[in-house]
Amino acid sequence: MNSHSIRETAAVALSLLDLTNLKDDCTEAQIDTLCARAQTPYGYSAAICIWPRFVAHARNILGIGHAVRIATVVNFPSGDMEVADVAAETREAIADGADDIDLVIPYRKLLAGDEKAVTDMVKAVRAECGPVLLKVIIETGELKDAALIRRASELAIEAGADFIKTSTGKVAVNATLEAADIMIRAIRESGRRVGFKPAGGIGSVADAALYLSLAETIMAPDWAMPSTFRFGASGLLDDILAVLSGAQSAPAAASSY
């Protein structure tokens, strides 16, 4: 990849980035920093992704209608909460000002064969979301099996997901190109306008380029945009800024398999 195309890729990745802080010990001061970092000299990230308890604080900082969206997580990271509790968590987050809801499916129940648990959870949260974007995290690294990743993607799409997302970033195996391939193909074959979000372990522009190339191959050259593709990452912004500022050329991509 030449320096021109790597800078283009960095600029695209910035526009697709859900800049994330889901550390257990996250503080309001760190949210202040995250909101500032999302607004770079080269453009803004698509969103910040934060714990529900910080949504109101972030909204106070960014104000109404800001170009940087506020994404938050529900049923996170375990996927084990009761449907009614997740619905209530979603309602509260939206009332506090969330633009995007990133929902973890009950993936352990799916592993045990309970597809209905996934459908019920996604439908219940979808009903709370209205115009708010619903991203459904299927936790591919725990599902492991290709057929199960495919089925989880189908269930989420059928139940009303606006996006399907690989991972919480809280397990041993997060985003991989193999899982991405399965999920993007499920989107294509659904015929629906559903987005894709790889999350966890994407730390360089070169890594991001691999996912964008895969999406382009399966969908279309112009398919990846903020309404159809996001990167969930905390460290990717550093490399994006280094490339855009000319401080470095992109390193070789780490293997995602």
Contact residues for 112 (Cβ-Cβ < 8 A; gap 6+): none
The tokens describing 51, both together, are 């714990």
- Contact, 168 vs 104, CB < 8 A? yes
Q: Would residue 207 show up in a list of annotated catalytic residues for this protein? A: no
Residue with tokens 């009303």: 160
Phi, psi torsion values for 71, nearest 5 degrees: -105, 145
The β-bridge relationship of strands 43-44 and 69-74 is unpaired
- Contact, 89 vs 153, CB < 8 A? no
CA distance 105 to 80: 8
Out of 99, 102, 162, 207, pick the active-site residue. Answer: 102
Out of 96, 162, 165, 207, pick the active-site residue. Answer: 165
Q: Would residue 102 show up in a list of annotated catalytic residues for this protein? A: yes
C-alpha closest to that of 182 among 157, 209, 207, 162: 157
Q: Would residue 197 show up in a list of annotated catalytic residues for this protein? A: yes
Out of 100, 135, 197, 207, pick the active-site residue. Answer: 197
Return the SS3 of 50.
strand
Contact residues for 62 (Cβ-Cβ < 8 A; gap 6+): 35, 68, 70
- Which residues have a catalytic role annotated? 102, 165, 197
